[in-house]
Amino acid sequence: MKISVNLLKQLGKIDKSNEEIVTGIKEHIGEVESYQDLSKDYSDIMVAEIKEKKDHPDADKLGVYQLDTGEKKLVQVLAGDKTLVVGDKVAYLKPGAKVPYTIYTEEKPFIIQSREMRGLLSDGMMGSEKELNLGNDHTIVMRLPDDAPVGKPFAEYYELDDFIIDVENKALTNRGDLFGILGLARELTVIFGKPFVTPAWYTDDTKNLREEQSCLGLNIINDAEALCPRYTAIAMDNIVVEESPLWLKSALIKFGYKPINNIVDITNYISQLSGQPLHAFDYDKVISNDPNKSETANITIRMARAGESILGLDSKVHELNDRIMVICDSTNPLAIAGIMGGSETEVDNNTQRIILESANFDKTSIRKTSMMLGLTTDAGTKFKHALDPNQCIPVLKEAVRMIKESTTGTISSDIVDLYPTISEPKEITLSLSNVNTHLGIDLQKDTIVQILKNLEYPIVKQDDDLLTVLAPTWRKDVTIKEDIHEDIGRIYGYNNIDSILPLRNLIPAKDNQIFALKKKIRQIFADSGANETDTHSFTDIPTLEKANLDADKAYKLKNALAPELSLMRTSLIPSLLVKTQMNLQEGYDKFILFEMNIPHIQGYEDENKLPKEDWHLSSVITSIEKRSDSAYYIAKRYLEKILSTLNIQDIEYTLLSEFSEENLSEEIKNSMYMFDRNTSAIVTAGDIVLGIIGEIDNKVKGNFKLPKYTAGLDININALNSIDIKNNKYTEMPKYPESRVDLCVEVNNDIQYKALYDSIYKDINNDDINGKVTCLDIYKESEKADTKRITFSLAIRNFEKTLNDKDIKSITQKVIKRLESNFQAKII
C-alpha cells in the first residue's frame, strides 16, 4: 500500500517530518516496507525547451540539440531520439543528476556526466519515461506539456516533490479501512494527538444526484446478494475521454498506477484515496454487446456458469466457474466481480457514455476467486480485506463530481442502489479497569475517551468504569472489546508501556521426559565421536526405493515444491545414507551421523486420528577401512553406550531373520528391508520393541555407493522412554579378593553367546558369592566350522572369606556342568 505524504498531510493536517511519519506508522500502525524521497530522486532535473536541432556530423543516429534550461546559456545535449523538434519541452538531467530509474534497480545509481559523443560534447541528458521512473517507454525522450515552465525543477512541476511510504499489506491484513489513504490519514492524525475529521463527502450517503440530461436506461438485478451485500451504479453521458491532467497522472504514478485516461485514472485515484474500488463500463458497449437487444443497459450480478469465460482487461481469457461472481449483461459476463473488468466493455478514447459501479463484495469470495484465477489486482486486494458497504454511495458521488469537473460529463440516471441489509455500527462495551489490566498501564478515563473520540468512535454511554461505543462501520475488524483495547494501546503507544515481569507461584515446571532423554542421547553420541545432523522431512520415490523402502507408505504432499520434495519420509535412515555418501565424497572416511526426528508412515495414526509421531534416534556409521568383522557390532557398541549410560539393562537382540514378522510394529516392518537380515537385530526390552540395528543391506549400500563397513541404528525414543529404569539400591561391596578363572567353551554355532553368559553369571552370583563375566575371545576354526569357541574370564569373590582353590574348583565345576548339560558344551 503506497501512500503519498503530501496527500496524507492534506487530508490529516499532519504537521510532522517525513521521518516522524514513518516512525509513527511503524510504531502505531504496522511495518513499513520501504520509503522514498522523490524530491531527492529528481534533484538536478529541470524542465527545458529545445531551441535548436542539428544532425551530428559523424553519427547518423544522434541528434544534437540546444536546450533552454532557464540559464543564460543554451546547453548542448546529444540524444538517440531524433524525432524531437524545436519547441518540445523535455526533462533535462544536469551533469551530476541521478537517473531516477537506476536508484531502485541498480546497486549504485547512474550519475549523469558531461561526455563527448563522437567529437561533440553532450552536457547532460533528456530523460525517457522509463529513465524518469514514470512509465515503461524508453525508446523516446519524454515530452512534457507545452505549458511546462522552462527552468522549473521537474519534481516540483510534476508534483513529485513528495515522500512515498510503502506500508506492508500483511500488517494491514485485518484493516480494510487502511487500504485507502483516508484511513491512514485518520490513524496518523490521531497518533499525533489530534482528532480526525472525516471529510464530509465520505459520510454523505444521500442519493441526491439527479439526472441532468439524456436519461439512460439502467436496470440492475442482484442475483448474488449473499456475496454482494451492496451494488450501486450511475450512468453518465457526454464524457470526453482524454489524457488526465498532470496532477492526476503524477498522483497515480506515486501510488504505483499507470495513468491510462481521465475516466480510468479518476476511478483509480478515488479508489486509492478511499479504499473503495470503482469500475467504469462503456455504456454503449454494454448495450451493443448484449445479445438481447434493448435500449436499456441490463446488468445482473450472479455466479458464473461452468463453461463461461471472459476476456479480461489484462488481455487474457479467464475460464469461469460457479464459485466465481460476475457482473453480466442479460446473458454474458462483463466483469469478474471485484477483481477485473472485461475488455469488451472497456472505456476507450471513443467512449461517450459510461456506467460507474461502486459495489461491495464478500471478502472470502473475492479471495477465493483471486486464488482460483491466479489474479491479483488492486481492487481484489482491497475487497479481500473487508470494506464498508456504507462507503459505496459517497465514493460514487465523489467520482461523479471529479468526472464532471474534468470533462463535460453529465449525470444521466438516478443512482441505482441495491442494499437490502444495511450495515449498522456495532455497539461494544468496555471496562476501563479491564483496559488497563489487559495492557498493563494506568490510563485515566479522559485519555481513553479522547483516543476513541479522535478515532471517531461515537460514545454512546459512559459511567465510572464502563464505556459503550459504536465501532464505525469502516472498522470491520472491530468486533470485540479486545479490539478496542488494541486501538487504545496502539494509539497510546506500545513503547510507552513499561516492562513488568509477571508474579508467579513456586509450582515447579513439568518435566518433559522425551525432550530430556533426547538431550541425554545427544550428549552421549556427541561425546562418542558422532555428529548430529538435521535433515529434511521431505523425500521422493527414488530415494525411498534406493533404500528398499515402500514409497506407498509415505504421505504425499498435495503441493510439493519440487518432485524430489514430494513425500514425507517414512524413516530418517535414507536421509542419513544420502548425507553419508555426500561426506564420503567430501573426503571423510570414517564417521557417524545421527539425527533425532520424526518419521511418518501413512495410515499409522495416533488416538486422535493424526499421523503417529514417535521420535527416532537414527544413525549411520561408516568406515572405508578394511575389516573382517561385521559392522553390526559397532552399531551395537554405540547403542550399548547409550543404554549403559542411561542404566537400562536386560536388552535383547534377536537376529532379524529369526524374528517373527507378526510381532513387529508398522515402523519396523517398514524399515527392516534397509538392513541385512543376517547381520542385523531387532532390539527389545521385554515386550517393548526398541528398534533395529545392524549392517545396511548390500543392495542399499551399493545404491548409495557406501563402503562394506556401514551400519545403521534406528531406535524409537518414545519406546525407550517407556522402559522402567530400575533405581538400583546399594548392595554391599565385597571385601575379599577376587579369584580369576578362564574358561574356554566349545559349542555349536547356533548356541548364542548370551545364553552361555547368562548361565555362567547365574552360577557365580548368589547369596554367598559375587562374580563378573567378561569375554576374552570368540574363535572359529574356519568359516565352515560347525562349532565356535568362546573364552570367558570369571572373576569371583565370596562375601565372607577369601576363596581357596577348592572353593574355586567347586564353583567352576558347577558352571561347567550346567554348560555341558544345557548346551552340550565342550570345555577345552
Partner 1 sequence: MDNNLEKIQVQLQKDIDLPYDELKTKYISTNGLLTLAMKAIASIPNDQKAAYGKGINQLKNSVTELLDQKKNQSLIYSPNNRIDPTAPFDVNTPKNDRPQVWDIKGTKHPLHKEVEKLVEIFQRMGFDVMESKQMDDDYHMFESLNFPVGHPARDMYDTFWTEDGFVLPAHTSTMQNRALKQSNPPIRVVLPGRVFRHEATDASHGHTFYQMEGIYVDKGISLANMKATIKTFLEAYLETDLEVRIQPSFFPFTEPDCEFVISCPFCNKTGCSTCGHSGWIELMGCGMIHPNVLTQGGIDPEIYSGFAWGFGVDRLTMIKLAINDIRYLRDSNLNFLRQF
Q: 3-state secondary structure string, 84-141?
A: CCCCCEEEEECCCCECHHHHHHCCCCCECCCEEECCEEECCEECECCCCCCCCCCCCE
Residues binding partner 1: number (CB under 8 A)? 135
Question: Binding of partner 1 at residue 569 (CB under 8 A)?
Answer: no
Cell digits for 33?
A: 516496507
CB of 703 to partner 1, least distance (A): 10
Cell digits for 827?
A: 570345555
Nearest to 241 by CA among 397, 353, 340: 353
Q: Of 356 and 642, which CB lies nearer to partner 1 in the complex structure?
A: 642
Question: Binding of partner 1 at residue 226 (CB under 8 A)?
Answer: no
Q: Which residues contact 689 (CB under 8 A, 6 or more apart)?
A: 663, 664, 665, 668, 682, 683, 716, 719
- Could you tell me which stretch among 263-271, 489-497, 665-673, 715-723 binds partner 1 (CB under 8 A)? 489-497
Exposure letters 461-479 (e unless 16+ CB within 10 A, then b): eeeeeebebbbbbbbbbbe
Distance CA(813)–CA(809), nearest Å, equals 6
Considering only 149, 195, 245, 529, the residue that binds partner 1 (CB under 8 A) is 529
Site string for partner 1, 743-782 (x = CB under 8 A): ------x--xxxx-x-----------------x-xxxx--
Considering only 249, 353, 397, 490, the residue that binds partner 1 (CB under 8 A) is 490
Q: What burial class does residue 766 get, using C-beta atoms within 10 Å of its C-beta: 0-12 exposed, 13-18 middle, 19+ buried?
A: exposed
Distance CA(681)–CA(663), nearest Å, equals 14
Considering only 266, 393, 634, 717, the residue that binds partner 1 (CB under 8 A) is 634
Question: Binding of partner 1 at residue 520 (CB under 8 A)?
Answer: no
Site string for partner 1, 112-141 (x = CB under 8 A): ------------------------------
Measure Cα distances from 743 to 11, 723, 748, 777 in Å: 100, 34, 16, 10
Q: What are phi and psi of 477, to 5 degrees?
A: -80, -15
Q: Of 83 and 649, which CB lies nearer to partner 1 in the complex structure?
A: 649
Distance CA(92)–CA(98), nearest Å, equals 11
Residues 455-484 that bind partner 1 (CB under 8 A): 480, 482-483
Distance CA(199)–CA(12), nearest Å, equals 10
Is 442 annotated as belonging to a binding site?
no
Name the packing angle between helices 445-454 and 481-492 (round to 10°): 100
Residues 708-747 that bind partner 1 (CB under 8 A): 708
Question: Binding of partner 1 at residue 792 (CB under 8 A)?
Answer: no
Strand partners, 35: 165
Q: Which amino acid is at 467?
A: L
Q: What are phi and psi of 734, to 5 degrees?
A: -65, 140
Distance CA(721)–CA(714), nearest Å, equals 15
With the CA atoms of 297, 303, 309 and 310 taken in that order, what torsion angle do they form, in degrees rounded to the nearest 10? Answer: 40
Q: Could you tell me whether strands 2-4 and 163-167 are parallel, antiparallel, or unpaired per DSSP bridges?
A: antiparallel
Is 146 annotated as belonging to a binding site?
no
Q: Of 56 and 438, which CB lies nearer to partner 1 in the complex structure?
A: 438
Q: Which amino acid is at 478?
A: V
Distance CA(187)–CA(208), nearest Å, equals 30
Considering only 86, 197, 560, 725, the residue that binds partner 1 (CB under 8 A) is 560
CB of 181 to partner 1, least distance (A): 18
Question: Binding of partner 1 at residue 509 (CB under 8 A)?
Answer: yes
**Residue with grid cell 464505556, as numbered in its chain:** 467
Q: Of 402 and 441, which CB lies nearer to partner 1 in the complex structure?
A: 441
CB of 537 to partner 1, least distance (A): 6
CB of 738 to partner 1, least distance (A): 21
- Could you tell me which stretch among 241-249, 412-420, 662-670, 701-709 binds partner 1 (CB under 8 A)? 701-709
Distance CA(219)–CA(123), nearest Å, equals 62
Q: Could you tell me whether strands 416-418 and 459-462 are parallel, antiparallel, or unpaired per DSSP bridges?
A: unpaired
Nearest to 615 by CA among 571, 656, 552: 571
Is 487 annotated as belonging to a binding site?
yes
Site string for partner 1, 39-78 (x = CB under 8 A): ----------------------------------------
Residues 377-416 that bind partner 1 (CB under 8 A): 384-385
Question: Binding of partner 1 at residue 583 (CB under 8 A)?
Answer: yes
CB of 486 to partner 1, least distance (A): 4
Helix (H, G, I), strand (E, B) or coil at 493: coil
Q: Could you tell me whether strands 75-79 and 63-68 are parallel, antiparallel, or unpaired per DSSP bridges?
A: antiparallel
Considering only 15, 498, 724, 732, the residue that binds partner 1 (CB under 8 A) is 498
Question: Binding of partner 1 at residue 534 (CB under 8 A)?
Answer: yes
Helix (H, G, I), strand (E, B) or coil at 700: helix
Largest CA distance in the chain: 132
**Looking at the chain, how many residues does it have?**
828
Considering only 548, 788, 795, 823, the residue that binds partner 1 (CB under 8 A) is 788
**Residue with grid cell 510394529, as numbered in its chain:** 665
C-beta neighbour count of 773 within 10 angstroms = 20
Question: Binding of partner 1 at residue 592 (CB under 8 A)?
Answer: yes
Q: Of 112 and 567, which CB lies nearer to partner 1 in the complex structure?
A: 567
Question: Binding of partner 1 at residue 316 (CB under 8 A)?
Answer: no
List alpha helices for 14-73, DSSP H.
18-28, 38-41
Question: Binding of partner 1 at residue 322 (CB under 8 A)?
Answer: no
CB of 7 to partner 1, least distance (A): 22
Considering only 119, 307, 508, 737, the residue that binds partner 1 (CB under 8 A) is 508
Question: Binding of partner 1 at residue 422 (CB under 8 A)?
Answer: no
C-beta neighbour count of 746 within 10 angstroms = 18
Strand partners, 318: 310
- Could you tell me which stretch among 26-34, 89-97, 353-361, 810-818 binds partner 1 (CB under 8 A)? 26-34
Question: Binding of partner 1 at residue 585 (CB under 8 A)?
Answer: no
Question: Binding of partner 1 at residue 454 (CB under 8 A)?
Answer: no
Chain-centre distance for alpha carbon 273: 29
- Could you tell me which stretch among 60-68, 229-237, 413-421, 523-531 binds partner 1 (CB under 8 A)? 523-531
Considering only 113, 444, 523, 822, the residue that binds partner 1 (CB under 8 A) is 523
Question: Binding of partner 1 at residue 533 (CB under 8 A)?
Answer: yes
CB of 565 to partner 1, least distance (A): 7
CB of 386 to partner 1, least distance (A): 8
DSSP secondary structure code for residue 422 in this structure: P
- Could you tell me which stretch among 139-147, 152-160, 391-399, 628-636 binds partner 1 (CB under 8 A)? 628-636
Is 483 annotated as belonging to a binding site?
yes
Q: Of 158 and 632, which CB lies nearer to partner 1 in the complex structure?
A: 632
- Could you tell me which stretch among 243-251, 252-260, 335-343, 360-368 binds partner 1 (CB under 8 A)? 360-368
Site string for partner 1, 642-681 (x = CB under 8 A): ----------xxxx-x------------------x-xxxx
- Could you tell me which stretch among 102-110, 130-138, 259-267, 499-507 binds partner 1 (CB under 8 A)? 499-507
Question: Binding of partner 1 at residue 153 (CB under 8 A)?
Answer: no
Q: Which amino acid is at 584?
A: L
Question: Binding of partner 1 at residue 172 (CB under 8 A)?
Answer: yes
Question: Binding of partner 1 at residue 20 (CB under 8 A)?
Answer: no
Q: Which residues contact 265 (CB under 8 A, 6 or more apart)?
A: 244, 248, 249, 252, 257, 259
Considering only 582, 725, 827, 828, the residue that binds partner 1 (CB under 8 A) is 582
Question: Binding of partner 1 at residue 363 (CB under 8 A)?
Answer: yes
C-beta neighbour count of 826 within 10 angstroms = 13
Question: Binding of partner 1 at residue 30 (CB under 8 A)?
Answer: yes
Annotated binding residues, written as ranges, equal 477, 483, 486-487
Q: Could you tell me which residues are annotated as the binding site for Mg(2+)?
A: 477, 483, 486-487
